[in-house]
Amino acid sequence: YTMFSVTTLFLGIIVHKSVVAFSIGMNLIKTHPNKIYFVISLIIFVALTSPIGGFIGIALEGSELGEQSQNIVTAIASSLANAISSRATKELAF
Protein backbone atom coordinates (compact mmCIF):
# COMPACT_ATOMS: atom_id res chain seq x y z
CA TYR A 1 0.00 0.00 0.00
CA THR A 2 1.18 3.50 -0.77
CA MET A 3 0.82 6.44 1.58
CA PHE A 4 -1.48 8.12 -0.97
CA SER A 5 -3.87 5.14 -1.14
CA VAL A 6 -4.04 4.83 2.65
CA THR A 7 -4.63 8.58 3.04
CA THR A 8 -7.33 8.55 0.36
CA LEU A 9 -9.10 5.62 1.99
CA PHE A 10 -8.85 7.26 5.43
CA LEU A 11 -10.29 10.56 4.18
CA GLY A 12 -13.08 8.75 2.35
CA ILE A 13 -14.05 6.90 5.50
CA ILE A 14 -14.00 10.12 7.54
CA VAL A 15 -16.26 11.93 5.06
CA HIS A 16 -18.65 8.97 4.88
CA LYS A 17 -18.86 8.57 8.67
CA SER A 18 -19.41 12.32 9.11
CA VAL A 19 -22.35 12.37 6.72
CA VAL A 20 -23.86 9.25 8.28
CA ALA A 21 -23.44 10.62 11.83
CA PHE A 22 -25.02 13.95 10.88
CA SER A 23 -27.96 12.23 9.18
CA ILE A 24 -28.56 9.83 12.05
CA GLY A 25 -28.32 12.65 14.59
CA MET A 26 -30.80 14.82 12.70
CA ASN A 27 -33.27 11.95 12.29
CA LEU A 28 -33.01 10.99 15.95
CA ILE A 29 -33.55 14.56 17.16
CA LYS A 30 -36.50 14.94 14.80
CA THR A 31 -38.04 11.63 15.88
CA HIS A 32 -37.35 11.93 19.62
CA PRO A 33 -37.10 15.65 20.46
CA ASN A 34 -37.94 15.20 24.16
CA LYS A 35 -35.71 12.16 24.81
CA ILE A 36 -32.25 13.73 24.74
CA TYR A 37 -30.56 11.00 26.83
CA PHE A 38 -32.03 8.33 24.56
CA VAL A 39 -30.71 10.17 21.50
CA ILE A 40 -27.26 10.58 23.06
CA SER A 41 -27.11 6.89 24.00
CA LEU A 42 -28.04 5.84 20.46
CA ILE A 43 -25.43 8.18 18.98
CA ILE A 44 -22.80 6.67 21.29
CA PHE A 45 -23.93 3.18 20.26
CA VAL A 46 -23.59 4.06 16.58
CA ALA A 47 -20.16 5.59 17.22
CA LEU A 48 -18.97 2.40 18.92
CA THR A 49 -20.22 -0.05 16.29
CA SER A 50 -17.52 0.73 13.75
CA PRO A 51 -14.54 0.15 16.08
CA ILE A 52 -16.20 -2.96 17.52
CA GLY A 53 -16.66 -4.32 14.00
CA GLY A 54 -13.02 -3.57 13.26
CA PHE A 55 -11.89 -5.43 16.38
CA ILE A 56 -14.06 -8.41 15.46
CA GLY A 57 -12.54 -8.43 11.97
CA ILE A 58 -9.00 -8.24 13.34
CA ALA A 59 -9.76 -11.03 15.83
CA LEU A 60 -11.18 -13.26 13.09
CA GLU A 61 -8.26 -12.57 10.79
CA GLY A 62 -5.71 -13.42 13.47
CA SER A 63 -7.55 -16.43 14.84
CA GLU A 64 -6.26 -19.99 14.63
CA LEU A 65 -9.54 -21.26 13.19
CA GLY A 66 -9.52 -23.27 10.03
CA GLU A 67 -10.61 -21.57 6.82
CA GLN A 68 -14.05 -23.19 6.81
CA SER A 69 -14.72 -22.31 10.47
CA GLN A 70 -13.51 -18.76 9.87
CA ASN A 71 -15.86 -18.44 6.89
CA ILE A 72 -18.81 -19.67 8.97
CA VAL A 73 -18.10 -17.25 11.83
CA THR A 74 -17.63 -14.40 9.34
CA ALA A 75 -20.95 -15.22 7.64
CA ILE A 76 -22.79 -15.30 10.97
CA ALA A 77 -21.24 -12.02 12.15
CA SER A 78 -21.99 -10.37 8.80
CA SER A 79 -25.60 -11.59 8.82
CA LEU A 80 -26.10 -10.34 12.36
CA ALA A 81 -24.64 -6.93 11.52
CA ASN A 82 -26.85 -6.68 8.42
CA ALA A 83 -29.96 -7.59 10.41
CA ILE A 84 -29.20 -4.97 13.06
CA SER A 85 -28.44 -2.26 10.50
CA SER A 86 -31.56 -3.09 8.47
CA ARG A 87 -33.73 -2.81 11.56
CA ALA A 88 -32.06 0.44 12.59
CA THR A 89 -32.50 1.90 9.11
CA LYS A 90 -36.18 0.92 9.12
CA GLU A 91 -36.69 2.54 12.53
CA LEU A 92 -34.98 5.77 11.48
CA ALA A 93 -36.70 5.99 8.11
CA PHE A 94 -40.24 5.34 9.31
Taking only the tens of pLDDT, the chain with its 94 residues reads 788 888 998 899 889 888 888 888 888 889 889 999 988 888 888 888 878 877 877 787 777 778 888 788 888 888 888 887 787 777 666 5
CB 28 within 8 A of CB 39: yes
Q: What angle do CA 83, 89, 93 make, to 5 degrees?
A: 150
Full DSSP string of 59-81: HHHTS---HHHHHHHHHHHHHHH
Burial class (CB in 10 A: 0-12, 13-18, 19+), 46: middle
